[in-house]
Structure 1
């Protein structure tokens, strides 16, 4: 990018979009997420149920909320997402530790949280993108995504370090003693809520950011006078967006490749700690790996931006496919110690590159009136694919556990499971290219056909 372009002001909604994503996603309790729920009195089975409730809520509401955003206004949906986040955090903060009814309050909390995620999905990005003058969108949006991609890793590092610190009672008491409170003796039942209190603050800030956003001038023309008409328009928008995706090669192929790549990389992120143990890293170093990965993402953002400006979408997605394939081959043949981390660096970075490319190319071919709905389809398909792959991984480990005659938590079971991953990925990529050829031939158009 040239120096004059770097100095161009960022559009109002685009700047606020970056702040919204940071405040909405960088939560202080993430580094202690599982143990936090257990400390509230949940067991692992209940924790799993809560995650299922959260995921199902998102899947059920994601596309309908995107369609409503295209009718009622994207700003309204983003504000609603922030309001729900405030309610979610307040419920979390006021919940007492233990008690027979805590699980059911957490069910309500997870429904609210999933609803907030669904309301924001697609609407925030569509609002920011359509606030950019149409003639400037292709040049300005990479700048917006670059800024977001730079600050998100740093946001996660800061929130994770602070969240983990204030959660630990001994660390907080030592800090208070250093500051002059000699008899500081806060109990764990007190400090475990400190990350949540910080999230209440960020939720309020998030709401303030959304209230400062502005709806594009042409959005009001889409709103209908009655609730029933707005619902009907939203349902019609879902059907029309789905039909457009199915008959238009670029969005169909982007979404298909999207959930295939996203699902396997997200599965690795989910079980990454098992891989770190497998290659001999101590648990104390897991956080170091996360920080190094985030810093690597921060320093490679300019590569992503350069690639969308100077290389074709085919080249860029081929690069991501190669990054993922390389990483999966390394997982199947792991190297010991930190060499094993260095070798999977392309895999750790692949998700950042992929999300950057997908956002750019999908927004580029999607018209304004259906943008939030289409972006919600992106989120829904990815979540469904990730859920399916996670289930397959569970069945795979159960099968290998029985075949090897050891418990499913044993390292050799996980190592054996990783041997299958490159073959799975090769099979899904072959299926994608066969589907691509079949669909393009049926439509009788170029695979690069957009709107």
Structure 2
């Protein structure tokens, strides 16, 4: 197969579609699944926190794997690790296992996702550069957002109604099966293009070199640092907000067994992702600077979360879910393009993984605390606190905007 920008993009979309379909099968029921296993809100969100802790622990190491042994190898490892840990989750559910076992397996789930987080995006950007792509990154990431939304729409609806028709464990089993299929797809279609893994170096010395350069090009670049710190607030809170929607909406709906409603809520968010992804490039053109768009999204997103806690009506909260989904999905491709324009190719996967690490770090601390607030004062109170925490990202995006980095104003092409 001849590698062209078109074939690269098609492969990227296929990988996103399959992985998101597998992941989203349980997105609408994950919290309900944990509560059904006998965990409290505190324990359920603590289990999620251990998942994000696993991402914190392994984001940079797996990013280094991608930079040393290749993005393809990292992706393949991710499919296998995530499939096995998903099956272990079902086993724990059947046993009604103690919390510590959920914590261990949740860390393994986090490990599985970290193999994907920086590697897939880095593979795309490097391959597009190598094959001479001169178009807009927002357009590619926006189309990818659409594919993600389509897969999430199908997966979340199917997972919710499948759980309602059978039991809560079946969507997890289907997820593991799809991940194994994706292993085969990536094995056949994904090749490292525009990037040469340094497999001949010493492991320890290479790890030190890549880690050192990643800090140099990541944390020590003020613009990148401010963006990552902002992500720690919005990303960490976002994980709680999404997963707490499942039981919260069922409470507002008045039927705690209506798993299809929980899946439908995730599907509504997926539909918002599709629309937001389609208009991401147009939204970008409405702002002279990418950070202006991101700043607007931060303010609107925090306000939407606060309103979810204040306006406790099912259809109102569902409408706010749509609004927040539109905001996030339109802003995400802009943020991806901006960040990729600030970092060099050789450290791309590791720095993108470090960015995910910052987001996960926020989730480690936020989720148990917010889960405890939900246990004591209810879900509305936890959403009010979540909105306040999310708003803390606003000053950091404003700082990044004040620096006026060259990638901030770029519209077409690849800036790095």
Q: TM-score range by the shorter chain?
A: 0.7 to 0.9
Is the aligned partner of 1:351 residue 2:348?
no
Residue 6 of structure 1 corresponds to which residue in structure 2? none
SS in 2 for 1:323: helix
Instruction: Report deviation, 1:122.
Output: 0.3
Residue 184 of structure 1 corresponds to which residue in structure 2? none
Aligned-partner Cα distance in 2 for 1:357–1:202: 29
Is the aligned partner of 1:261 residue 2:234?
yes
Q: Please tell me whether the aligned partners of residues 13 and 128 of structure 1 are also in contact (alpha carbons under 8 angstroms).
A: yes
Question: Alignment partner for residue 341 of structure 2, among 349, 355, 364?
Answer: 364
Residue 182 of structure 1 corresponds to which residue in structure 2? none
Residue 237 of structure 1 corresponds to which residue in structure 2? 210
Question: Alignment partner for residue 350 of structure 2, among 368, 373, 382?
Answer: 373
Distance 1:135 1:151, change over 3 A: closer
Residue 63 of structure 2 corresponds to which residue in structure 1? 66
Instruction: Report deviation, 1:208.
Output: 1.1
Distance 1:50 1:66, change over 3 A: same
Residue 124 of structure 2 corresponds to which residue in structure 1? 128
Aligned-partner Cα distance in 2 for 1:246–1:252: 5
Q: Please tell me whether the aligned partners of residues 59 and 353 of structure 2 are also in contact (alpha carbons under 8 angstroms).
A: yes
Q: Please tell me whether the aligned partners of residues 18 and 144 of structure 1 are also in contact (alpha carbons under 8 angstroms).
A: no
Following TM superposition, the consecutive aligned residue runs of length 4 or more in structure 1 with deviations greater than 6 angstroms are: 93-96, 102-105
Residue 177 of structure 1 corresponds to which residue in structure 2? none
Residue 183 of structure 2 corresponds to which residue in structure 1? 207
Structure 1 unaligned spans of 5+? 1-8, 173-190, 399-406, 441-445
Instruction: Report deviation, 1:325.
Output: 3.9
Distance 1:49 1:61, change over 3 A: same
Aligned-partner Cα distance in 1 for 2:176–2:312: 42
Residue 270 of structure 2 corresponds to which residue in structure 1? 294
Q: TM-score, normalised by structure 1?
A: 0.74
Instruction: Report deviation, 1:37.
Output: 5.1
Residue 19 of structure 2 corresponds to which residue in structure 1? 24
Residue 319 of structure 1 corresponds to which residue in structure 2? 296
Distance 1:13 1:108, change over 3 A: farther
Is the aligned partner of 1:14 residue 2:9?
yes
Aligned-partner Cα distance in 2 for 1:96–1:269: 21
User: In the TM superposition, what are the counterparts of 1:28-427 in structure 2 within 5 Å?
Assistant: 28-36=25-33, 43-44=39-40, 50-89=47-86, 91=88, 97-98=94-95, 109-133=105-129, 139-168=135-164, 171=165, 193-212=169-188, 213-216=190-193, 218-220=195-197, 222-225=198-201, 229-273=202-246, 276=249, 280-283=252-255, 284=258, 285-309=261-285, 311=287, 312-331=289-308, 333-334=310-311, 336-343=313-320, 345-393=322-370, 397=373, 408-410=376-378, 414-416=379-381, 418-419=383-384, 423-427=388-392
Map Cα deviations across residues 245-293 of structure 1 (whole Å, 9 max, x no partner).
Answer: 2332332222223223333343322333565478x54445554433333
Distance 1:366 1:409, change over 3 A: same
Aligned-partner Cα distance in 2 for 1:107–1:388: 15
Aligned-partner Cα distance in 1 for 2:163–2:243: 22
Q: TM-score, normalised by structure 2?
A: 0.80
Give the root-mean-square deviation of aligned CA atoms.
3.5
How many residue pairs get aligned? The number is: 396
SS in 2 for 1:298: helix
Aligned-partner Cα distance in 2 for 1:218–1:281: 51
Q: Please tell me whether the aligned partners of residues 153 and 295 of structure 1 are also in contact (alpha carbons under 8 angstroms).
A: yes
SS in 1 for 2:95: coil
Q: Which has the higher contact order (CA 8 A, sep 6+)?
A: 2
